[in-house]
């Protein structure tokens, strides 16, 4: 078998002085979608993501947190990594710029172009933006022209890279490779920047300590952008890139604000070192919030976790790719997100999957029926599905995600309409009716199979569930898209287990919960001292406090009397969508029924709790947990190193509901 063609793509590597918001998430999810798509097209794909950990900004953030830089970045990098895992991102390489192999690559690359005569010592005096890590052409006291934040005056010795020598080679390259910079608007922007003349670039710093040392030239450390861009090469072999076969990269996917670094500096460094250039740099637009770029400094960020907790990771992935035309800016709104979730996912794909399975279950004993003669309306749907395959692949190839999804959802809508006009449920039991019903149900299931495969790169989690619901073997990820055709669904296949896909959710409730969690996350201390979103307490904060190892200060009885604890009886208990540790309980405390959330879902089955008597702190101020109101607290012991909650109770005594604990 011939070797699979190789495909290498990268996300930007993210700064570790902040935590991811959905702007960063957008870049990463796009890359992950391309990665999954290319695999299904038969490529041997490597996708790199990672963290950009050096520079003065990190140096200062670590100082503020009172920890060494290495500890600071290790914790932040772990946060980024954990989030990508939660979002189902399948990065193959997570490169950190503090990795040793990366430092070697940076030093090696520098040596290559220094040996080639493109480096000279100099002195820089000018303004520097520590947030963008950019030398900016403004006067002292003026703000950064790109991000609007204050600049700092830098005066230091450094080494310069002869960027000016690459004006002509770069312009020639752009002409020879018209697709190198995408989209067109960004290409034009870069072209006019380079045509305007290039100034040599300082690539080392002496007033910063936290960086990769320039060998033999201490105290010089490398300029962060030179360091960061080189990560793309370190991830696939560094100096030994030829051995892995993944360099040059096929695609660097970046946000539009960093196009210049990728489309001018990076190719110039590579040319100077005599290395092959990446094939394409694609600059996408920004996610805007209230018409401004989402960014930590503006305080208008939305974090991905609350969305994932309430609606699931596929909902976020779908929304980001469907709502914004790739390459353009797009507005984020919770309202539009939940709208899309309910209309496209719950009522669209989710509903088609569950009703198809239910009809097959009822009429065909849970097996895909064998179709009889096709009528023109069946063939019309088949043609639409077959055409959709071609159209969707073409759009994915062009990174036209929103159009690809539009096409798939138009197929889903056509199938819903087909079911309405063919109404298989009203057919009778005659031989002809049974055959007609079998044909309609097979046709519907075949559309569902095709839609599932086509949507898989975007919705990996839910399409895997639909795939097994349709009784298909293996994973949708291993289906070769090139071989996908109408008519491959085998009759007689037994359906698999049905799993919840996209439960409908009331818009106001969903938004309230996401916003409440967002607020919790924003108020949470930095992960360098505590987790970003604190995990739900075992059964409330008093239980956690009771588990504390520290010897508490003694309190008087009057202090204890402030805590009003009563016997309560659990009336109802249910799980909360998107909050796997919490149960929502209603508890009779004698004088009223209270709603209380308890962090016991992983250890107690809700149905087994009904009727159980528990100790309740009744005078605790109400608060929201994962956006759900909790009015009181159930008392539990916290057992073992994992803090397993064991409910305090009254097993042997007949205690009255509402009795006070003293």
Point out which residues bind ligand MSP (CB under 6 A): 12-15, 23-24, 26-27, 52, 228-229, 231, 254-255, 258, 286-287, 293-294
* CB closer to ligand MSP, 444 vs 526: 526
Q: Smallest gap, in angstroms, from Cβ of residue 12 to ligand MSP?
A: 4
Burial code of 446-456, b = ≥16 C-beta within 10 A, e = fewer? bbbbbbbbbbb
* CB closer to ligand MSP, 97 vs 464: 97
CA distance 635 to 540: 7
* CB closer to ligand MSP, 24 vs 437: 24
Q: Smallest gap, in angstroms, from Cβ of residue 21 to ligand MSP?
A: 7
Q: Smallest gap, in angstroms, from Cβ of residue 427 to ligand MSP?
A: 50
Q: Smallest gap, in angstroms, from Cβ of residue 228 to ligand MSP?
A: 4
Instruction: Indicate the pairing of strand 44-52 with strand 93-96.
Output: parallel
* CB closer to ligand MSP, 286 vs 341: 286
The CA-based dihedral angle spanning residues 229, 230, 231, 232, taken in that order and rounded to the nearest 10 degrees: 80
Q: Smallest gap, in angstroms, from Cβ of residue 110 to ligand MSP?
A: 16
Element (H, E) at 154: strand 152-161
Q: Helix %, strand %, coil % for the chain, to 5?
A: 45, 20, 35
Q: Smallest gap, in angstroms, from Cβ of residue 330 to ligand MSP?
A: 8
The three-state secondary structure class of 323 is helix
* CB closer to ligand MSP, 92 vs 629: 92
Cβ atoms of residues 516 and 627 within 8 Å: yes
* CB closer to ligand MSP, 104 vs 624: 104
Please count the other Cβ atoms lying within 10 Å of the Cβ belonging to residue 509.
14
* CB closer to ligand MSP, 24 vs 436: 24
Q: Smallest gap, in angstroms, from Cβ of residue 91 to ligand MSP?
A: 14
Q: 118 φ, ψ to 5°? A: -105, 20
* Count of residues making up the chain: 662
Q: Smallest gap, in angstroms, from Cβ of residue 134 to ligand MSP?
A: 10
624 is written with which tokens? 């929201």
CA distance 463 to 446: 14
* CB closer to ligand MSP, 24 vs 384: 24
Cβ atoms of residues 533 and 519 within 8 Å: no
Cβ atoms of residues 485 and 593 within 8 Å: no
* CB closer to ligand MSP, 287 vs 589: 287
Q: For tokens 């639909």, what's the residue?
A: 466
> H-type helices in 125-280, by residue range?
167-176, 184-195, 224-234, 241-244, 259-260, 266-273
CA distance 355 to 362: 10
* CB closer to ligand MSP, 282 vs 467: 282
Q: Smallest gap, in angstroms, from Cβ of residue 310 to ligand MSP?
A: 21
Report whether the peptide linkage leading into residue 233 is cis, meaning its omega lies within 30 degrees of zero: no
223 is written with which tokens? 């300029």
Q: Smallest gap, in angstroms, from Cβ of residue 642 to ligand MSP?
A: 33
Residue whose C-alpha is closest to residue 437's, from 424, 421, 448: 424
């Amino acid at each position: 078998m011939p070797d699979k063609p190789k495909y290498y793509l990268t996300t930007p590597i993210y700064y570790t002085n902040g935590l991811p918001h959905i702007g960063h998430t957008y870049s990463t999810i796009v890359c992950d979608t391309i990665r999954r798509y290319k695999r299904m097209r038969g490529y041997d794909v490597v996708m790199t993501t990672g963290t950009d950990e050096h520079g003065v900004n990190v140096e200062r953030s670590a100082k503020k947190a009172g920890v060494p830089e290495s500890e600071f970045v290790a914790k932040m990098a772990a946060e980024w990594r954990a989030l990508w895992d939660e979002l189902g991102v399948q990065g193959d390489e997570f490169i950190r710029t503090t990795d040793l192999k990366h430092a070697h690559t940076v030093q090696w690359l520098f040596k290559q172009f220094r040996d080639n005569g493109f480096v000279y010592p100099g002195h820089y005096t000018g303004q520097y933006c520590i947030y963008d890590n950019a030398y900016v052409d403004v006067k002292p006291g003026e703000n950064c022209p790109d991000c609007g934040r204050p600049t700092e005056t830098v005066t230091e010795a450094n080494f310069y890279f002869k960027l000016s020598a690459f004006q002509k080679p770069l312009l020639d390259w752009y002409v020879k490779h018209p697709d190198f910079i995408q989209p067109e608007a960004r290409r034009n922007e870069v072209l006019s920047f380079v045509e305007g003349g290039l100034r040599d670039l300082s690539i080392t710093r002496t007033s910063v300590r936290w960086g990769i040392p320039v060998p033999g030239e201490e105290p010089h450390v490398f300029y962060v952008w030179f360091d960061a861009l080189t990560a793309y090469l370190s991830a696939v072999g560094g100096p030994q890139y030829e051995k892995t076969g993944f360099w040059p990269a096929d695609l660097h996917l970046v946000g539009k604000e960093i196009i210049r670094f990728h489309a001018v500096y990076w190719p110039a460094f590579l040319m100077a070192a005599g290395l092959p250039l990446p094939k394409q740099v694609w600059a996408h637009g920004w996610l805007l919030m209230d018409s401004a770029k989402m960014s930590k400094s503006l305080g208008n960020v939305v974090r991905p976790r609350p969305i994932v907790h309430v609606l699931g990771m596929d909902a976020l992935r779908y929304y980001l790719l469907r709502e914004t035309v790739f390459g353009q800016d797009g507005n984020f709104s919770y309202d539009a997100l939940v709208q899309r979730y309910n209309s496209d996912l719950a009522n669209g794909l989710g509903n088609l999957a569950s009703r198809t399975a239910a009809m097959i279950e009822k009429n065909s004993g849970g097996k895909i029926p064998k179709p009889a003669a096709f009528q023109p309306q069946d063939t019309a749907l088949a043609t639409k599905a077959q055409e959709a395959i071609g159209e969707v692949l073409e759009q994915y190839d062009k990174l036209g995600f929103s159009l690809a999804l539009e096409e798939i959802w138009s197929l889903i809508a056509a199938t819903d309409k087909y079911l309405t006009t063919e109404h298989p449920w009203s057919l009778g039991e005659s031989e002809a009716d049974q055959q007609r019903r079998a044909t309609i149900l097979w046709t519907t299931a075949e559309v569902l199979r095709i839609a599932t495969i086509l949507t898989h790169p975007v919705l990996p989690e839910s399409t895997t569930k639909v795939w097994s619901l349709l009784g298909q073997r293996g994973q949708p990820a291993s289906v070769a898209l090139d071989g996908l055709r109408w008519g491959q669904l085998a009759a007689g296949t037994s359906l698999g287990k049905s799993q919840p896909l996209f439960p409908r959710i009331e818009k106001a409730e969903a938004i309230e919960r996401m916003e409440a969690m967002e607020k919790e996350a924003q108020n949470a201390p930095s992960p360098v001292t505590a987790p970003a979103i604190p995990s739900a307490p075992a059964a409330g904060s008093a239980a956690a406090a009771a588990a504390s190892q520290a010897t508490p200060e003694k309190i008087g009885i009057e202090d204890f009397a402030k805590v009003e604890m009563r016997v309560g009886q659990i009336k109802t208990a249910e799980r909360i969508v998107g909050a796997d540790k919490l149960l929502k309980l209603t508890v009779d405390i004698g004088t009223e029924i209270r709603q209380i959330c308890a962090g016991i879902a992983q250890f107690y089955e809700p149905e087994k709790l009904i009727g159980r008597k528990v100790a309740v702190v009744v005078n605790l101020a109400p608060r929201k947990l994962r956006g759900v109101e909790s009015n009181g607290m159930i008392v539990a012991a916290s057992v073992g190193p994992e803090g397993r909650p064991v409910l305090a109770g009254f097993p042997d005594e007949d205690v009255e509901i509402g009795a006070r604990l003293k």
